[in-house]
Amino acid sequence: MRKIVDYRKILGVDKNAELQELKTVYRTLMKNWHPDKFTDSEESKLEAEEKSKTIIEAYHFLVSIASETRLQTIEDYKLTTTTSGIADFEYKNQILTVSFADGSIYEYFDVPKAVYVKLINADSPGRFARRHIYANYIYRSTSKLVATA
| Angle, vertex CA 22, rays to CA 17 and CA 28, nearest 5 | 135
C-alpha–C-alpha distance, residues 129 and 134, integer Å: 6
Across the chain, which has 149 residues, the per-10-residue mean pLDDT values are: 87 91 95 89 91 95 90 93 95 95 94 97 96 95 62
pLDDT computed for residue 70 by the predictor: 87
C-alpha–C-alpha distance, residues 81 and 64, integer Å: 18
Beta-carbon-side half-sphere exposure of residue 126 (alpha carbons within 13 Å): 11
pTM > 0.75: yes or no: yes
**R_g of the chain, CA atoms, integer Å:** 18
pLDDT computed for residue 67 by the predictor: 87
pLDDT computed for residue 149 by the predictor: 46
| Number of residues that this document lists for the chain | 149
| Angle, vertex CA 81, rays to CA 80 and CA 85, nearest 5 | 85
Q: Which of 5, 4, 3, 8 is nearest to 29 (CA)?
A: 8
